[in-house]
Amino acid sequence: MTITKFALRGASALALGMAAFAAPSAVSVAIAQEAAPQTPQTVEGRIPVGEFVKQPNMKTVRISPDGNKLAYIAGRGGAEVLVVLDLRTMSEKPLVAANEVREAGDRTMQGFRWIGSDHVVATVISRENISGQVADFRRLVAYDIKTGEAIPQAWRDAGGDAGALRHIDHDTGKYLLQRDTTGVSTERWFKPEIVEVDVSTGRFKRVQRINPVVSSWSVDGSGEVRMGSNYDRDTGKIRLLYKGEGEDHVKTVYNDADETFTESLPAPQMFIPGTDDAYVISNHEGYDKVYRMNVPTMDITETVFETEGFDVQGLITDSKETKILGYRTFDGTMKTVYTDPNLKTVQGLMEEMFGENEGSIVDYTDDLSKVVVYGGGLSKLGGYYLFDTRTGDMKLLNWSNTALKDAPLNPVKAEWYTARDGTKIQAIVTYPRHRMGQKNLPVVVMPHGGPFGVTSYSNPSFFLWHQALAEQGYVVVEPNYRGSGGYGKDFVQLGREPGGYGKSMQDDLNDVLTFYGEKGVIDPNRACIMGWSYGGYAAARGAQRDGDVWQCAIAGAGVYDMALMNSWDRKNLGRFSEGFQATSDDPDGISAARNTDGNWAPILIVAAKRDARIPMEQAETLVSNLRRSGKVEGKDFRYVVQEQGTHNLPFDDVHIEWMEEAYAWLQKHNPAYIPSDGDTAPELIDFD
């Protein structure tokens, strides 16, 4: 483990800001007046595409309550492992494999939490084949850091799901767990109880019995059960049941469905202690804002926080969930706005040290004596640091990527363009660092998945596909096309209305070429479209509908036959969720697999055989119909089946294969460098 110490600038600001944390006997702050992080390395050659998608050394870093240990996900041998690092000895202890399950019989980890400072509790998924149906069972396992013992948590009489943490008391090592139980009847699975568990033994006692109309429970900051909820898969109705201060039973306060899929139900994000009020996020005024709401009446009483023209992304609370410390926001980049003065001071120092949007707080102890920071992410890659607020020490724990360290990234900007109907669209644009200022460059348009999510450019854990391709010489544009989240309810509705899905949403992708072509940034005749999940759908739809627009398409894990997908959703998610994809106006017309005749752009199709979200029949149907229409494999299309692939690409082998196949297809049909460009590709760096 590499350890590097940095001294901070702005010592006076630190001393003022940290004074509130220091107990009378605490070590006084001692920081050099002038110092800065090491100068980032210079990388002259091209970094290969596969280097950008390897599992990082550290991610999802969490510090123990006593500040002496870290737990995090680490890349080991191309897979993910949960690791604990002792900060006093800097020794690592791997605990459990953390990858997404691939097939029946797999056991893997979905998430983890500290409970006290001696136990890491992991959520373990077991994928089982039950009478031909694959089902996932969820359990908790506590790992005793001192003894190395793995302790099953409340497994006796547990049903399909026994893995939902609802409240933690770090001082006692006890916590509340929501779980299905077979102790009453197997016919009451999905009607959970709440039990109190002792993390050191796994023993438990019931504190909330099952309720026949409740499928999930919510708990306040004191550990009291306050709300139950239920979702009807067929009608789409969400029912909320609330138990007021001093009451014994829950009562229904809401029971309705959102036929548009665009309303955000104002369900409590944090119960306000000593009241029947809660902080909620709602878009009833057009954008997601934070409000104070009286829960029994569902009346909004106060606007607490908002960002003009964008949706608020979430609340940040203290560990006991009794106080708001800040908010997560979005304006093309995901940001954290701290309202807690001490966290605000630390964040300011990190941005002073690493640059705006470059230094971000990852986790911290309750007394803020130790803070985990990620330095990098916008202009350069980076690593995780441990900041001791009492001594001023800043230690580099590890680079996110050992080979790349703090290598420079290709410049990224959030920019606006205008679609053909006048709609303003924001896009995340990545410019190739080796070709800055050059005009008429090749472009890859990369629609995000979802489709009703959003692409942001400042997240140290996101897939670096845009960086991988910009490094090879392409401009990469990631449009937040209509229907994307983050821009208010009306913008989402534009993607859900008839003529949106597969039509005007698709036009938004084409209009990128018009806008940036007129600016001279890109050559519209050197454009390809690439995406995964919904992005895979959009890529295939582009190849089919606009074969004269795109030089090539690259589609991964996509939906290609809407009627088949709607049938699958109805069976697996319920009748109401069949309408989620918003394709009822013309499902056949917008299905690439049902329109394989005619002029297609050459398309690469990548399918993950163990994809739990998109069934293999989607890719198989598309490929079969392409062949039936006379398309030639190797020329008109290429089909790659990832035998060990899953929907979320958590393994290096399949992730690197995806990127290398994509780049090879681009080079074949839309090479980054051609003689008329006047420049040549920098030499490729060999990291082996």
Domain ranges of the chain: 412-671
| Burial class of residue 686 (count of CB atoms within 10 Å of its CB; 0-12, 13-18, 19+) | exposed
Contact yes or no for 351/341 (Cβ under 8 A)? no
Q: Which residues pair with 605 in a beta bridge?
A: 555, 639
Q: Which residues pair with 119 in a beta bridge?
A: 115, 144
- The residue ranges of DSSP E strands in 87-190, in sequence order, are 91-97, 107-115, 119-130, 133-144, 150-153, 164-169, 174-179
Tell me which range, 86-100, 434-448, 453-467, is most confidently predicted by mean pLDDT: 434-448
- Cα 224 from Cα 231, distance rounded (Å): 22
Q: Tell me what pLDDT residue 458 has.
A: 47
Q: Tell me what pLDDT residue 456 has.
A: 64
| Higher pLDDT, residue 182 or 210 | 210
pLDDT tens-digit readout, 231-248: 888 888 999 999 998 888
| Higher pLDDT, residue 185 or 480 | 480
If one counts every other C-beta atom within 10 angstroms of the C-beta of residue 313, the result is 19
Q: Tell me what pLDDT residue 37 has.
A: 52
pLDDT tens-digit readout, 501-541: 899 999 999 999 999 999 999 999 999 999 999 999 999 99
32 to 8, 14, 368, 384, 386: CA distances (angstroms): 7, 11, 21, 21, 17
Q: What is the mean pLDDT of residues 549-561?
A: 97
The H-assigned helical ranges of 289-414 are 341-354
Query: Edge to edge, what strands does the sheet with 107-115 contain?
Result: 107-115, 119-130, 133-144, 150-153
pLDDT tens-digit readout, 253-311: 999 988 777 778 888 999 999 999 999 999 999 999 999 999 999 999 999 999 999 99
DSSP string, 277-321: EEEEEE-TTSS-EEEEEETTTTEEEEEEE-BTTB---EEEE-TTS
Q: Over 60: is that where the pLDDT of 33 sits?
A: no
- Cα 374 from Cα 384, distance rounded (Å): 5
What mean pLDDT is reported for the chain?
Answer: 88
What proportion of the chain, given as a percentage, has pLDDT over 90? 68
- For the chain, helix, strand, coil in percent to 5 are 20, 35, 45
If one counts every other C-beta atom within 10 angstroms of the C-beta of residue 436, the result is 9
- The residue ranges of DSSP E strands in 431-557, in sequence order, are 441-445, 475-480, 522-532, 552-556
Please state whether the peptide bond connecting residue 408 to the residue before it is cis, i.e. omega within 30 degrees of 0: no
Q: Tell me what pLDDT residue 577 has.
A: 62
In total, the chain counts a number of residues equal to 688
If one counts every other C-beta atom within 10 angstroms of the C-beta of residue 274, the result is 10
- Cα 50 from Cα 82, distance rounded (Å): 23
Phi, psi of 347 (to 5 degrees): -60, -40
Closest CA relative to residue 254, chosen from 283, 287, 213: 213
Q: Which residues pair with 528 in a beta bridge?
A: 444, 552
Q: Over 60: is that where the pLDDT of 367 sits?
A: yes
Q: Tell me what pLDDT residue 332 has.
A: 87
Q: Tell me what pLDDT residue 29 has.
A: 31
Q: Tell me what pLDDT residue 572 has.
A: 66
What proportion of the chain, given as a percentage, has pLDDT over 70? 87
Q: Over 70: is that where the pLDDT of 462 sits?
A: no
Distance from CA of residue 17 to its chain's centroid? 32
Q: Tell me what pLDDT residue 189 has.
A: 61
Q: Over 80: is that where the pLDDT of 20 sits?
A: no
Contact yes or no for 639/633 (Cβ under 8 A)? yes
Helix (H) or strand (E) holding 635: none
- Cα 607 from Cα 55, distance rounded (Å): 21
Contact yes or no for 600/631 (Cβ under 8 A)? yes
Phi, psi of 633 (to 5 degrees): -70, 135
CATH 3.30.499.10 for the 412-671 domain, yes or no: no
Q: Which residues pair with 527 in a beta bridge?
A: 443
Separate counts of helices (H) and strands (E) for the chain: 9, 36
Contact yes or no for 549/527 (Cβ under 8 A)? yes
pLDDT tens-digit readout, 439-460: 999 999 999 998 877 776 544 4
155: left (phi over 0), alpha (psi -120 to 50) or beta: alpha
Q: Tell me what pLDDT residue 203 has.
A: 98
Contact yes or no for 162/140 (Cβ under 8 A)? yes
Buried b (16+ CB within 10 A) or exposed e, 438-471: beebbbbbbbbbbbbebbbbbebeebbbbbbbbb
Contact yes or no for 496/261 (Cβ under 8 A)? yes
Q: Which of 96-110, 602-616, 638-652 has the lowest mean pLDDT?
A: 96-110
Q: Tell me what pLDDT residue 47 has.
A: 95
- Cα 239 from Cα 229, distance rounded (Å): 5
Q: Whose structure tokens read 């998608």?
A: 53
- Cα 566 from Cα 619, distance rounded (Å): 15
